[in-house]
Amino acid sequence: MSYADFHKRSVEQREDFWAEQAQLIEWHKPFEQVCDYSRAPFVRWFPGGETNLCHNAVDRHLKDRADQNALIWVSTEVDQERAYSFRELHAEVQRMAAVLQAQGVKKGDRVLLYMPMIPEAVFAMLACVRLGAIHSVVFGGFASHSLASRIDDAAPVVVVSADAGSRGGKVIPYKPLLDEALRLASHKPAKVLLVDRGLAPMERTEGRDVDYASLREQFIDAEVPVTWVDATHPSYTLYTSGTTGKPKGVQRDTGGYTVALAASLKHIFQGDPGETFLCTSDIGWVVGHSYIVYGPLIGGMATVLYEGLPTVPDAGIWWSLVEKYKATVMFSAPTAIRVLKKHDPALLKKYDLSSLKALFLAGEPLDEPTARWISDGLGCPIIDNYWQTETGWPILSIANGVEKQPSKFGSPGVPTYGYDVKLIDQQTGEELDGPDQKGVVVVQGPLPPGCLQTVWGDDDRFVKTYWQKVPALDGQPERWLYSTFDWGIRDKDGYYFILGRTDDVINVAGHRLGTREIEESICSHAAVAEVAVVGVADQLKGQVAMAFAVLRDASALGDEARLAQIEGEIMKTVDAQLGAVARPARVRFVSVLPKTRSGKLLRRAIQAVCEQRDPGDLTTMEDPAALKQISDLVTVK
Ligand code: AMP
C-alpha cells in the first residue's frame, strides 16, 4: 500500500485502522470499542480493553527472548557498563515494584521520580506501570522550585530519587535539591525512596526516607504480578512548559500509548526484535519515555541507557556504542549532532557503523549543514521528525516502514498516519489549502492513540489551551482542532516545514522552556522590578534565553560593576530555582521595557531586535526609546 493510502485510511477508516494496529500488543481482555469520541475533544482509545504497559515491555518477551539484552546501561560518568537481559529486567522490576508496594503504592497513586540516568530509574518507571501507579519523571536538571511545583501538582505518595547525578565528571547532589523542594511544597509525600550511588553524602529524614539497596535485598525473590488496567487508565504524567509559569502535566493513557509505540517501531523506526536501539535523550523528557524506555522494549529490542556527555572520553563515544552493540536504530537531537560536528570528523570513520539502518533526529529544527554533515558521515538515512511532549510520538515523519519515501532537507516530513494535520490562518482560523502558505499547524481531533488524554487534574485547561471548535458549516459536521502552537508551511508535495512557535515557549538545545517561568524566577531577585525573557537564535543550541531587566534602583544602571554582580546573582537564582538548563545566556539591564500602550510586553519585537531583524509594526508601542535601548545593548560595536 502506498503511504498516501495508508495515511488516508488511518484518518478516514480510523476504527479499522487502529483495531489492526492494536493487534501488535497483548491484551488481557479485548477492547469493546476502538475510539470513543463522544465527548470531543476528549478521546478514549480502546475502552473496555485491559492491558499493562510493563507486561508488553517486559513479561511478554520472556517466552522468546528471556536471555537477550533488554537494558544496557553505559555510564562514562562513573565508568560502568551493565547489561540486563529481559529475565533480569523482569526480576529487577518486580523487586522495585515490591519495594514500592511496601511503601504503600497502589493502582492510581502517583510516584514522582527525580533520578539520574541509572537503571533504577527505568526499573521504577516500569514498576509503577506494572502496579497501575502513575509515574511522573522530573528531569534531573531541574532544581528545587521547579521540582516543588511538580510535587504539588502530582501529589505523589512516594518520591524516588538518588544521592546524585554527574555531568562532565562533576557530581551534582540531588538530595539537597529534593529536600529543599519538599520543604517548599505544600504536599508532603509519605516516603522518599533513595538509591545511594555513593557519589554524595545524604541526610535522611527519619520515618520518611528509606534506602533502596536494603529493601531490594528484602524483596530479592519478589514476584509481583502485573495489575491489569483499562486501556484508558493513566500510565504517567510528564510536565511541560506553556505560556504561563505553571507547568502542565501531560497525562498519557495505557492502551493507546502502547499501541502507538508498537506501531511506530514497525512503521517509522523499523526496529526489529532482538536488535538494539540507541536513544541519547534523557528519561526526564518525552523522547526518553517513548524511545529509551517504552518503545524499544515493547518492540522486543535492547535499549541503551547512556549517562554522560556525547564528547567524553571523546566525541566518538556514541559511535563506539553503535559498533559494540550493533545498534540498528539511533535517535538523537540536532544540538547533539552540532556539538559532535565541532570535533574530529575522523571519529565518525573509526567505528563500524554498518548496523545502523537510520538516525532519527527530533526536538528542534534540523539545519541543512548539520543534516548533510551527519548524512555524509553515516551513510544511512537521517530522518527528521517533529513532535511534542503532548503527542508522545511523531506528528510529522517519514514512515519508511510503510513505503520508502524521500526526505527533504529542512522538513520533518509529512503527516504521520493517525494525524489529520492542517494549516490554518492564525487570525481567521480558515484552512490554508494552497502550497507555501504560512499558518499554524493544527491536528483535527480526535488525536491518535498515544497523545495526551488531558492536562493532569485540569480538563478545563486542556480544552482551553489546546482546542478550538469549528462550528458545523456547509454540510460539514462540527470539528475540533488541536493547536501545536507552531508555525509551518507545506510545499506542493505535502512536506511540512516548521517555522517556530506561536507562543512564548523557547527551545534551548532541544529542551522546551517557558519564558514566563524564567521571568518569574528572575523577578524573585530583590533588585529586579520587571523582566522580559526572549529566545534568541543561537548557532549551537538553536535558541538561547536572553533576559532584559528593569532594576528597582534605577541609579545602578550606570554602575557596570554592580550590574555584573546582579547579573551573576540572577544566574545563581535561576540555577537554584529552575536549574542550569533554564539559565539565560545574558541578563542585560534597561530603564524601561518595550510594551504596547495597553501594557503588553513586546517580546517578539525584542526578539527581532536581538536577531538583527525588522521588529515589525510598532505603532502600538508605548515608548519607542525602549526598543532603542535594547538594540544599542545587543548591537556589536
Ligand atoms: P517538546 O514538547 O519539548 O518535545 O517540544 C516540542 C516543540 O519542539 C515543538 O512544538 C516544536 O516547536 C519543536 N520541535 C520538535 N521537533 C521538531 C522538529 N523536528 N523540527 C522543528 N521543531 C521541532
Residues 578 and 623 in one domain: yes
- Domain carrying residue 587: 509-635
280 within domain boundaries:
no
- The residue from 474, 498, 522 where one domain ends is 498
Mean pLDDT, residues 506-516 taken together: 88
Cβ atoms of 593 and 532 within 8 Å: the answer is yes
The larger pLDDT score, comparing residue 400 to residue 141, is at: 400
- The residue from 222, 239, 268 where one domain ends is 222
Average pLDDT across the chain, whole number? 95
Q: Is the pLDDT of residue 637 over 60?
A: no
Count up the domains in the chain and report the number: 3
Q: How many CB atoms lie within 10 A of CB 202?
A: 19
Measured in whole angstroms, how far is the alpha carbon of residue 492 from the centre of its chain? 31
Tell me, what's the pLDDT at 621? 75
List, for residues 192-209, the tens digit of each pLDDT value: 999 999 999 999 999 999
Residues 517 and 452 in one domain: no
The number of the ligand 1 atom at minimal distance from the alpha carbon of 484 is 10
Mean pLDDT, residues 232-253 taken together: 89
What residues pair up with 160 in beta bridges, in sequence order?
113, 193
Mean pLDDT, residues 568-579 taken together: 94
List, for residues 129-173, the tens digit of each pLDDT value: 999 999 999 999 888 999 999 999 999 999 999 999 999 999 999
Tell me, what's the pLDDT at 386? 97
Q: Is the pLDDT of residue 587 over 70?
A: yes
Q: What is the DSSP annotation of 55-77?
A: HHHTGGGHHHHTTSEEEEEEETT
Residues 216 and 89 in one domain: yes
Tell me, what's the pLDDT at 243? 67
Task: Give the CATH number for residue 583.
Answer: 3.30.300.30
416 lines ligand 1 (CB under 6 A): no
Cβ atoms of 515 and 522 within 8 Å: the answer is no
List, for residues 8-62, the tens digit of each pLDDT value: 999 999 999 999 999 999 999 999 999 999 999 999 999 999 999 999 999 999 9
Mean pLDDT, residues 519-543 taken together: 92
Residues 207 and 160 in one domain: yes
Q: What is the DSSP annotation of 167-178?
A: ETTEEEE-HHHH
Residues 181 and 212 in one domain: yes
Q: How many CA atoms lie within 13 A of 584 on its CB side?
A: 29
193 within domain boundaries:
yes
Residues 458 and 572 in one domain: no
Residues 482 and 591 in one domain: no
Q: How far apart are the C-alpha atoms of 119 and 53, rounded to whole Å?
A: 18
Report the percentage of the chain scoring pLDDT > 90: 84
CA 65 to centroid of ligand 1, rounded, Å: 35
List, for residues 166-196, the tens digit of each pLDDT value: 999 999 999 999 999 999 999 999 999 999 9
Q: Quickly list H helices, 280-425.
A: 286-288, 295-298, 317-325, 334-341, 346-349, 368-378
Q: How far apart are the C-alpha atoms of 245 and 1, rounded to whole Å?
A: 46
Residues 485 and 609 in one domain: no
Residues 96 and 158 in one domain: yes
Q: Is the pLDDT of residue 246 over 90?
A: no
Measured in whole angstroms, how far is the alpha carbon of residue 181 from the centre of its chain? 22
Which of 479-483, 589-593, 613-617 reaches the highest mean pLDDT? 479-483
Tell me, what's the pLDDT at 622? 76
568 within domain boundaries:
yes
Mean pLDDT, residues 286-312 taken together: 97
430 within domain boundaries:
yes
Task: Give the CATH number for residue 207.
Answer: 3.40.50.980
C-alpha dihedral, 305 to 310 to 312 to 315, nearest 10°:
130
241 lines ligand 1 (CB under 6 A): no
Mean pLDDT, residues 355-379 taken together: 93
CA 482 to centroid of ligand 1, rounded, Å: 15
The grid coordinates of residue 210 equal: 528509606
Residues 527 and 582 in one domain: yes
The grid coordinates of residue 365 equal: 529544527
170 within domain boundaries:
yes
Nearest to 347 by CA among 322, 319, 374, 323: 319
Mean pLDDT, residues 401-415 taken together: 96
Residues 514 and 487 in one domain: no
Q: How many CA atoms lie within 13 A of 571 on its CB side?
A: 14
Q: Is the pLDDT of residue 565 over 60?
A: yes
Three-state DSSP class for residue 287 = helix
Tell me, what's the pLDDT at 636? 65
CA 385 to centroid of ligand 1, rounded, Å: 9
pLDDT category, 514, cuts 50, 70, 90? confident
Residues 6 or more apart whose CB falls under 8 angstroms from that of 361 comprise 331, 332, 333, 334, 337, 371, 382, 383, 384, 385
For ligand 1, pick from 387, 397, 502, 511 the residue to mutate: most ligand atoms within 8 Å of CB: 387
456 within domain boundaries:
yes
Nearest to 128 by CA among 139, 140, 136, 118: 136
Report the percentage of the chain scoring pLDDT > 70: 99
Residues 433 and 478 in one domain: yes
Task: Give the CATH number for residue 462.
Answer: 2.30.38.10
List, for residues 439-467, the tens digit of each pLDDT value: 999 999 999 999 999 999 999 999 999 99
The number of the ligand 1 atom at minimal distance from the alpha carbon of 500 is 12
